[in-house]
Structure 1
Amino acid sequence: MSYEKIAKEIVQGVGGEKNVVSLIHCATRLRFTLKDNSKADKAALEKTDGVIIVKESGGQLQVVVGNTVPEVYNAIGKVSGILKDSNAKEKVEGGKKGIGSLIDVISSIFAPLLGVMAGAGILKGILLIASNFEWLQKTDTTYIILYAAADALFYFLPLLLAVTTARKFGGSMFTAMTIAGALLYPSILLLKTDGIETHFFGIPVVMMSYSSTVIPIILSVIVMSYLEKMCNRLIHESVKNFITPLISLVIMVPLTLIVFGPFGVYVGNGIADVLLAAFSFSPLLAGAILGASWQVLVIFGVHWGLVPIFINNIAVYGKDGIKPAATASVFAQTGAAFGVMLRTKNKKLKTLAGSATLAALFGITEPAVYGVTLPLKRPFIAGIIGGTVGGAIIGQAGTQAFASGAPGLLTLPIFYGPGGEGFPGLIMGITASFLISAILAYTLGFKDPVEEVENADSTASVTAGNKQNAGAGRISEKALSPLSGQVVPLSEVPDPAFASEAMGKGIAIEPSAGRVVAPFDGTVTVAFKKKHALAVVSDQGAEILVHVGIDTVKLNGEYFTSHVKEGDRVAAGQLLLEFDVDQIRAAGYPTVTPIIVTNTMDYADVLPLVQGQVQEQEELLRIVGEESEAEAEVERHPFLREIEG
């Protein structure tokens, strides 16, 4: 797998390097903040080798690539300048608002830390087990060294959050880290631990403990970033490099200690108290709700709103009773994917479900959810049911998390506290989640791709068989023009995905009439819900995509009338789609229509047979099956001889 090739296709798919404001990644997703989301071609991105699915959530375009995300992320840095700090300072056009903005901020700040946070959390959990079973004493120097490695991230969390927050808001990372360092400075800590009455020029300061805290430093760095920008506009170029940091430190450190620190700590504790009260009122009900909803929250990206609460609880109370119930949801979707693997007869789906199950067992659920359970619908519902039961068991057991980390087999030690109380309940809960979901996914069933082929008519079966025999053995065939109008070279289409032939070779037509007919006898393989495009595969295996206009997906089906659906058998010349050319143009969209052989790589070449005006059902393309036939084809057709020179 060439990560640089994938990286180039992803950059092109998101609208090019200049359309990217910033890029971060979490365990499985590339999270793009774009200037203009409408420039991203999600359909092309999802067809990219290595991309599982593309989602828009929390103001970000999220490209899910699974466990290879670090390699793809680094490859993007090699093939583009997207990862340079300067990109993060650009302003998003038509910025995100409301809850989308909040989720975007939280995810951008915490996502870069998830990998090391999970690793440190696992080590911390293992040390908890080691001390509980007296394999290591807390006074042993070995334990002290390893515990420092495990706890340093959490103790100095404000320093790390200062970096990610500054990157998000375009502030100076070094100034932000200095502010965070001031909060953790030994003499400042002594003011709190010794209970010394503290004032700043007569203003009383309520001292807090800021190690492992989240909200205070985030609030401080956000304000610092705006203060810096204002100072840089007003201060002369010759002195701003040291005057701006001076002003930032003099203002922000006291302001954080006086205002943001106490406010952030009180807010974090208040939200945590509300959630803990819900678990105290009915741990069974609260656990069931979180076990059922966690994976749904993940899909929409809003689970980030709870992540700071988990971290805050561990920092303040030394444990968190909310996160364990979410673990049930993870193992439930894992079980559902496993049930799909057992039931399906489709080899490709069985392989996908098997690998997704393995990844999900270690906390990476995106391949299982987006690639298996969610598209099949019933298995996803089975996972929700299993998560509800498991979450209820875990909630009732009072299981606690004693460190941070993505739920999975490797991170189970983080739930093992003093005496192991609640840990058996966790094991029972995740086991129930897995088994119930797997059994329900298997028994409820789903629309298996194998069953669709077996139940289709004989001609569709022949088509499916032909598609599997891709390669040089393809026979040549001709495609009739699906439209009437003026032939346009594909290179002149105002869309790089088509013009670059990234989606395949073909031709384009500026339509003179709003009709699309079948280019040959075959089967409709794709009929988009927004009706702007469709694909037909011939009985010999050539697949042609007809995409009416550019960016017409934004019309949401307006001015289009579809006469077919996916799976329909069609004859050459049969009416597939009608559209209002004038209305589409009046709405500001180009109507030039690319006609692409999407499986071009299965053939020796795709050759145009006409120039100028073309009529509906006139021979348009020659799809050449053998290398030797390509030269012979040029000899047989006068237009081809002309363009070959």
Structure 2
Amino acid sequence: MSENYQSLAKKIVQYLGGQENITDAYHCQTRLRFKVKDEKRIDEGELEALDGVAKYINNAGVHQVVIGTHVKDVYEEVTKLVSLQSSGTSEPGEKKGPAAAVIDFVAGTFQPIIPALSGAGMVKAVLALLIVFDVITADSQTYYMLNLFADGVFFFLPMILAFTVAQKLRCNPILAASVAAMMMHPNWGALVTAGEPVHFFGVIPFTLANYTGSVIPILIVIFFQSYVEKFLNKVIPKSVELVFVPMLTFLIMGTLAFSLFGPIGSILGGYLATFFTFLSVHASWVPAVLIGGFLPIMVMFGLHNGIAPLGVMQMAELGYDSIFGPGALVSNIAQATAVAVVALRTKEKKTKQLAVSGAITAYMGITEPALYGINLPKKYPLVAAMIGGASGGLYAGLTNTHRFATGSSGLPAVLLYIGDDTMRYFWNIIIALVIAAVVSAVVTYVLSFKYETKVTIDVPDMKAVVLEDTLLINPVPGTVMPMNQVKDDAFASEALGKGFAVDEPIGEVIAPFDGKVAAVFPTKHAIGLVSDTGIELLIHVGLDTVELNGQYFDALVEAEQKVTKGQRLLTFDVQQIKAAGYVTQVPIIVTNTPQYTAVELVKEGLVAKEEEVLVVKV
């Protein structure tokens, strides 16, 4: 499948300055991340304009290219084009501030286990549905085994986390998982259940704590194990390290895990559970409102990676998540709805296509294409989505809605809210989603009347410009008249576009707006302009004056030159042109008339230069 993205990968590498400019590349769930030698070689405009690229972001020297859910396929093609230092999904070491380092550590630890948690969560959702619809009973063997399928991940969560923590800290993940296995051994569980004090060598007390399904203890244990293991690898001779490093790691970390770090983590986990319980009872609305309203901002700065694991921790401690899940779900649905409204309201074809695809993926839980492709650039749908997300989050929080398993925050995730032998939380999250969708849709729709008066188009040899309502000043002083009075059927019929004409002109042409010279005809009798607001204008001096081959004309500008309103562009000798037998009427045509709803003359008769004479409406 990745072969379908060969062309996109090649262009991304090209606009990043070529393969020789890229020093490293890796990816997360939706973005390619690059490091380069020379940032000046990056063509940001071309990169962001690529079909398949939702957004380009430069964050602290890491160049992020937002792709979407198929980022892995694009990454596979990128790896064929560049020489990489890292392994793909793990970010190479770099200097970070304390807050950034903590977020990076937490994100790097929990992101790899998301697929397992999502899969287990959906199995639990299926199990809940089977119970609700009386397909199976809670005392059946089928229920017992399906519950086992789902609970395996959560039961052995410390071992899975130990592996990912070790990968992040660059120590041996197998040794880390083995230390976690000690802490989850059934014999240790039997000692905890018996409740009799345990003293190692009769001296060192081992605190009786159950580590099954826990999070904090294993994070602390493996963090310190990474230093112990690196020290042992440094001091033990290479010839015997294969035997003695694992042995000493087990002896040292086993002792420290049961006597010091495990108990500390268990205490901290208890405090965390108390905090979660306090929030659920006294301020249940706060997390859902904050996450529901500000998740898009958190995503932009990567802060969500440090907050999302709180939901996993809460679930490990209490069996449910009300910290992150509900707010994330209503936020994503609000964003999806906002971008869907943009798709209905926008007049620009490419934006409509991007909005439709962004809405679909956002409804499924991946919001980066919608966020970076539509909502952030346009701003107003982002504001609407934040208002809608906060509104839905408020309802979810006030009703203490929570999910019973983790998973992606898209529409399928509503099944995760079935649990505790009740459908109450399921119906609450549905109501919260309806509130989020309705509020964001209404706000987006209302704001669109102000902000969707513009249409983005592509002009040959120019970057995208924006169409908007514009008043043109008179570019040729003289007598302004309707186009149908021009003594040439091609112009008078408006077959070339709507506009007006100037009779008895004074011999100069000025720029009627700020913009760019699209073309100066070799015979200098006509000039094409494109305004900064998207108007394509042809100013044609005289009828059939092409036959003069430039005689009596003097062009003061050239193609591709920027011009400002009122700047002289062209001069011509009216008397000499008349004497040569040519009509000196000057048709002024909006050549992209079909892209506008109206092109209307607002003043006729003798009009001086720089007076407003034509309105073009989107």
In 2, the alpha carbon distance for the partners of 1:194 and 1:37 equals 64
Alignment of 1:65-464 (within 5 A): 65-79=67-81, 82=84, 91-92=93-94, 95-201=95-201, 202-322=203-323, 323-417=325-419, 418-445=421-448, 446-447=451-452, 449-450=454-455, 452-453=466-467, 455=469
Larger radius of gyration between Structure 1 and Structure 2: 2
In 2, the alpha carbon distance for the partners of 1:90 and 1:193 equals 44
In 2, the alpha carbon distance for the partners of 1:38 and 1:296 equals 25
Contact 2:21 2:37 in 1 (8 A): no
| SS state at 2:422 partner | helix
Contact 2:23 2:85 in 1 (8 A): no
**109 and 344 in structure 1: CA distance in 2 versus 1, 3 angstrom threshold:** same
Per-residue CA deviations over 1:296-319 (Å, capped at 9, x if unaligned) read 212211112222221111122111
Shift of 1:356: 1.1
In 2, the alpha carbon distance for the partners of 1:9 and 1:246 equals 51
Shift of 1:416: 1.4
Shift of 1:170: 1.4
Contact 2:453 2:468 in 1 (8 A): no
In 2, the alpha carbon distance for the partners of 1:436 and 1:568 equals 36
**250 and 523 in structure 1: CA distance in 2 versus 1, 3 angstrom threshold:** farther
In 2, the alpha carbon distance for the partners of 1:378 and 1:120 equals 37
In 1, the alpha carbon distance for the partners of 2:300 and 2:337 equals 18
Which residue of the partner structure matches residue 586 of structure 1? none
| SS state at 1:319 partner | coil
Shift of 1:66: 0.5
Contact 1:58 1:103 in 2 (8 A): no
**118 and 336 in structure 1: CA distance in 2 versus 1, 3 angstrom threshold:** same
Contact 2:213 2:316 in 1 (8 A): yes
Which residue of the partner structure matches residue 572 of structure 1? 558
In 2, the alpha carbon distance for the partners of 1:310 and 1:231 equals 35
In 2, the alpha carbon distance for the partners of 1:253 and 1:36 equals 45
TM-score with structure 1 length normalisation? 0.66
Shift of 1:354: 1.2
Q: What amino acid is aligned across from residue 415 of structure 2 in structure 1?
A: P
Count residues with an aligned counterpart.
Answer: 479
**360 and 85 in structure 1: CA distance in 2 versus 1, 3 angstrom threshold:** closer
In 2, the alpha carbon distance for the partners of 1:340 and 1:88 equals 35
Which residue of the partner structure matches residue 621 of structure 1? none
Shift of 1:405: 0.9
**132 and 186 in structure 1: CA distance in 2 versus 1, 3 angstrom threshold:** same
In 1, the alpha carbon distance for the partners of 2:36 and 2:225 equals 24
Shift of 1:99: 0.8
| SS state at 1:406 partner | coil
In 2, the alpha carbon distance for the partners of 1:261 and 1:40 equals 50
In 2, the alpha carbon distance for the partners of 1:368 and 1:105 equals 27
| SS state at 2:26 partner | strand
Shift of 1:124: 1.3
In 1, the alpha carbon distance for the partners of 2:22 and 2:196 equals 52
**15 and 310 in structure 1: CA distance in 2 versus 1, 3 angstrom threshold:** farther
Shift of 1:4: 4.2
In 2, the alpha carbon distance for the partners of 1:189 and 1:522 equals 83
Which residue of the partner structure matches residue 622 of structure 1? none
Shift of 1:396: 1.2
Segments of 5+ residues of structure 2 without an aligned counterpart are 457-465, 474-510, 521-530, 537-555, 564-618
Shift of 1:457: 7.6
TM-score with structure 2 length normalisation? 0.69
Per-residue CA deviations over 1:215-255 (Å, capped at 9, x if unaligned) read 32233223222332222222222122332222222212222
The CA RMSD measured in Å over matched residues stands at 3.7
Shift of 1:290: 3.0
Shift of 1:73: 3.5
Identity level (%) = 32
Q: What amino acid is aligned across from residue 262 of structure 2 in structure 1?
A: G
**345 and 233 in structure 1: CA distance in 2 versus 1, 3 angstrom threshold:** same
Shift of 1:567: 7.3
Contact 2:21 2:38 in 1 (8 A): no
Shift of 1:384: 0.9
| SS state at 2:69 partner | helix
Per-residue CA deviations over 1:501-530 (Å, capped at 9, x if unaligned) read xxxxxxxxxxxxxxxxxxxx99999xxxxx
